[in-house]
Chains A and B, each alone.
Chain A
Amino acid sequence: MSAVAAAIAEGRVGERLWMYSNYHCNLRCDYCLTESAPGVVRRQLEPETILEHAREARALGFTGVGITGGEPFLLDWMSELLGELAEILPVIVLSNATLFTGRRLEALAPLAGLPVRIQISLDSAEPRANDAVRGRATFAKVVAAVPELVRRGVGVRIATTLEDPASHDPEALERLCVLHRSLGVSDEDHVVRPIVRRGRAATGGLGVLAGFEQLEPELTITADGAFASPFGPTVRAGVLDTDLLVTRTTSPLAVPAGALARVVGDRAEADDARLGIR
């Protein structure tokens, strides 16, 4: 067994390979790690690059891939790519779900029954509270899109990001759970995690501090290099953070994967589970 495969099997390196498909987004959320917005530098990975990384990841011992951004579904080839990725490894893709209407919604239908899940951001059961953070009318778009996806058999998770989950109003959280259940998403497919103080959240003084020692090492590929966590390739004041950069080399994937396994070594489990970031 290779050092990378051993590190994954022993849980020292996360079993999922993350890839930032792009950095641009149709929203401009207050706590966005990557300062994503409509006009930012796209830092885009090409679909064949993503597929090749997934093939390499499978060979190295990874058991899943994650796609994040930016908003991945701004790329018109994303739905088709997810189907191809699912033939290689199970996929989770993070989305704001505000684009799932008409042609884009129908393009997702072929994903029904495949090992693909779309993790959708929804931060409150109150439209005003949700939209204050994520942008005008996003709540209405999400609650319209989720049942449509569920009805088509597409896997959906709901991700709620809060300033401090521990002190959040439990009744407000329960109202959110009632809402996601009504949309067809079970409790086990609802994750609640804190804002991580990087990117725009750091500028705004929001969330929990999280460095390498606090994060689960998960190899993350971007157009700028390979990072030690999907919370790594963040952007602040337009500049890419490099404190969690592993290598600039991303292909062959064995280079950054081997380097991450070496950096992680035999360190104790990270604090991410305690912080609820994972």
Chain B
Amino acid sequence: MLVTPVHPADVPLLARPYYSDSAERNSPIVTSLAHVPEALDVTMPFIATVLGPSAIAARTKELVILRASVLLECSYCVRTHSAVALDSDLSVGEVLALRRGEAGWRDAFPAEGDRALLGWVDAVAGAVGAVAPTASKALREHFSVPEVVELTLLCAATVMLNRYCTALELPASEATLRRLAAEGLG
């Protein structure tokens, strides 16, 4: 890590609710943000709201998170969310497809809704400037307005986290690495 994680004995007051008694369970996002507790105190609830359980299925959300993280080449997020994706009903084959380069996912996702979503993620997170109208139109055909808003926020938040985790060189946990190795995703 570029910065020293805040040790449990030094956790600031506002950060205490976000720390676990088990050091292994404290993510480096938390232990780095704890240096600026007022930022941690708003960022973690934000992350929990946007990336956590919501009206959109976990599988759908993990498609966005993992694909965006692959496009942004965020080692921490790709590893961590490969494991989360497996727990969200994505198969090892689907995870591998999402982790391939440009358009590597097409053969693994025949459903039109998944294809619209992943094409849109590629257009949002894998490009700069205006989002391709064809991608936006396809997304809108399969998702409601509230879902489009939530997915857009999810994709944008993932990009933010991708750059945060990459810039601070956050390491995936040993438990995640063991899990991925066991699944052939190391």
Contacts and interface: CB of A to CB of B under 8 A. Distances in A.
A253 interface: no
A277 to B, nearest CB: 18
B38 A247 contact: yes
Contacts of A249: 38
B14 interface: yes
A60 B167 CA distance: 38
Contacts of B34: 242
Interface stretch (B3-11, B51-59, B110-118, B123-131): B3-11
A246 B9 contact: no
B14 A243 contact: no
Contacts of B10: 241-243
Contacts of B41: 259
A245 interface: yes
B38 A263 contact: no
Nearest to A239: B10
B13 interface: yes
B171 interface: no
A68 to B, nearest CB: 20
B36 interface: yes
Interface string A232-264: 000000000111111111000001000100010
B37 A246 contact: yes
B37 A245 contact: yes
Contacts of B38: 247-249, 255, 259
B113 to A, nearest CB: 43
A249 B14 CA distance: 13
B11 A248 contact: no
Interface residues of B, number: 13
B36 A212 contact: no
A228 interface: yes
A246 B36 contact: no
Interface string B31-56: 00011111001000000000000000
Q: How large is the interface on A (under 10, 10 to 19, 20 to 34, 35 or more residues)?
A: 10 to 19
B40 to A, nearest CB: 10
B14 A263 contact: yes
A248 B36 contact: yes
A243 B37 contact: no
A248 B37 contact: yes
A242 B36 contact: no
A242 to B, nearest CB: 5
Interface string B95-138: 00000000000000000000000000000000000000000000
A246 B14 contact: yes
Contacts of A247: 14, 36-38
Nearest to B36: A248
Contact of A244 (B6, B13, B35, B36): B13
A212 B38 CA distance: 18
B31 to A, nearest CB: 12
A259 B11 CA distance: 15
A212 B16 CA distance: 12
A58 B36 CA distance: 26
A247 B36 CA distance: 7
A259 B37 CA distance: 10
A162 B12 CA distance: 28
A228 B35 CA distance: 15
Nearest to B11: A243
A210 to B, nearest CB: 15
Interface of B: 6, 9-14, 34-38, 41
Interface of A: 212, 228, 241-249, 255, 259, 263
The 10 closest A-B pairs by CB, nearest first: A245-B12, A247-B38, A242-B10, A263-B13, A248-B36, A242-B12, A243-B10, A249-B38, A246-B13, A228-B13
7 contacts: A243-B12, A244-B13, A246-B12, A247-B36, A248-B38, A255-B38, A259-B14
Given A247-B14, A247-B36, 15 more contacts: A241-B10, A242-B6, A242-B11, A242-B12, A243-B13, A244-B12, A245-B12, A245-B13, A247-B37, A248-B36, A249-B38, A259-B38, A259-B41, A263-B13, A263-B14
